Structure 1
Amino acid sequence: MAKVFIETSRLILREIVTEDVDRIFLLDSNPEVMKYIGVKPVTKLEESEETINKIRKQYHENGIARWAVIEKESNLLIGWSGLKLLTEPINGFKNVYELGYRFLPEFWGKGYATEAGKAVLDYGFNEINLEVIYACADIENLDSNKILKDKLGFESVGAFVDPLDNATCFWYELKKEKYSEM
């Protein structure tokens, strides 16, 4: 049974388990979902199994990783959201926590990324007592940048080129003190 971390009015955020492989494959094989990620869509179920194994390893080694987002109404995994400890440098940052999310297109525009993001930020700042949380988004991903800045309160503190795909990305931070004022 998957451990539930957060429940919101419409969502359950729980650990990702091996039984999620079909829905993770659906997510990561979708070209629309992967457009701004820096990696090509997966083509084999085994690739999604590897992804799940890596995430589960992060739970064990770092105590945290991305969580499955389950829509209560349908009981379907509609994406993932959560914090990840960056153990490899990104934009010169290492051993910091990054908020990320990814949702299936049919669930875009419904406020789920914002709802899950707020719940994850609350968890990060209030349950594990982080002082700052980071995020990044391809500058061309207008919707994700709007969510980070306008809906979740992140501030852009620069840009960098992602070595995975040479895309320029905004680098964001949100400090606990600013979050507490929201």
Structure 2
Amino acid sequence: MPTPPAPSVPVPAPLVTERLVLRPVRTRDVPAVTRLWTDPEVRRHLGGPVADAVVRIRQRRIVGASQCRAVERTRDGAVIGLVTVEPDGRGGETEVSYQFLPEYWGQGYAREAVAAAVARALEDVPSVVAVTQEANVRSRRLLEAVGMAHAESFVEWDAHQVLYRRTAPGKR
């Protein structure tokens, strides 16, 4: 008797905004994503550049990962960042995280991508959280700009952290 095909995990449709497409990571995106993991400026509030051995593992796992989205600029196809939406591992909530290449900072791309990702997630879950270092003022402003509110502060990884939360309308 033939073996039935393994059930497939549905891949969410790309998320399109005015200037961006958030889509699954492709093999050709790996160099840009690797830069996100190894750039000291990107990683300043994320524990520093990722070790080479860990980068190699991540490179094998990132392509097609259901929770990770490459952020592609529509006008030229440049991969400018990465947005991840996944269970947070702390309290069963859904967490959004993001990294963008420094040359694209200050142009509203991260705000546009994160706002779209949070809105999409809130269609299916009651709330979305994000954690950033208290010292990461740019990230805190972004989270507030997309409607997330400061929910708590704590120390983790030897740094002061802040947790932001946004609740879906009508799901308080």
Q: CA deviation at 1:18?
A: 3.2
| Alignment map for 1:105-116 (pairs within 5 Å) | 105-116=102-113
Structure 2 length-normalised TM: 0.83
User: Within the alignment, does 1:131 sit opposite 2:126 as a pair?
Assistant: yes
Report if the CA contact (8 A) 1:21-1:49 is conserved. Answer: no
Aligned match of 1:169: 161
Aligned match of 1:23: 32
Q: CA deviation at 1:19?
A: 3.0
Q: CA deviation at 1:157?
A: 1.2
User: Within the alignment, does 1:41 sit opposite 2:43 as a pair?
Assistant: no
User: Within the alignment, does 1:154 sit opposite 2:134 as a pair?
Assistant: no
| Alignment map for 1:22-101 (pairs within 5 Å) | 22-38=31-47, 40-42=48-50, 44=52, 47-55=54-62, 59=66, 65-87=67-89, 93-101=90-98
Q: Tell me which stretches of 4 or more aligned residues in structure 1 moved more than 3 Å.
A: 46-49, 52-58
**Structure 2 runs not aligned, ≥5 long:** 1-10
**Structure 1 runs not aligned, ≥5 long:** 60-64, 88-92
Structure with the larger helix share: 1
Q: CA deviation at 1:109?
A: 0.3
Structure 1 length-normalised TM: 0.79
Aligned match of 2:135: 140
Identity %, equivalent residues: 27
Q: CA deviation at 1:17?
A: 2.8
Superposed CA offset, 1:76-114 (max 9, x none): 111111312123xxxxx2332101110000000000111
Are the structure 2 counterparts of residues 82 and 14 from structure 1 closer, same or farther at C-alpha, using a change threshold of 3 Å?
A: same
CA distance in 2, matches of 1:14, 1:57: 9
Superposed CA offset, 1:98-154 (max 9, x none): 01110000000000111001111121112xx211110111010000001111x1111
Give the letter aligned to residue 46 of structure 2: I
SS of the residue 2:169 aligns to: helix
Give the letter aligned to residue 103 of structure 1: F
Name the Cα RMSD after superposition: 2.3
SS of the residue 1:177 aligns to: coil
Report if the CA contact (8 A) 1:16-1:52 is conserved. Answer: no
Larger radius of gyration: 2
Q: Which moved more, 1:47-56 or 1:6-15?
A: 47-56
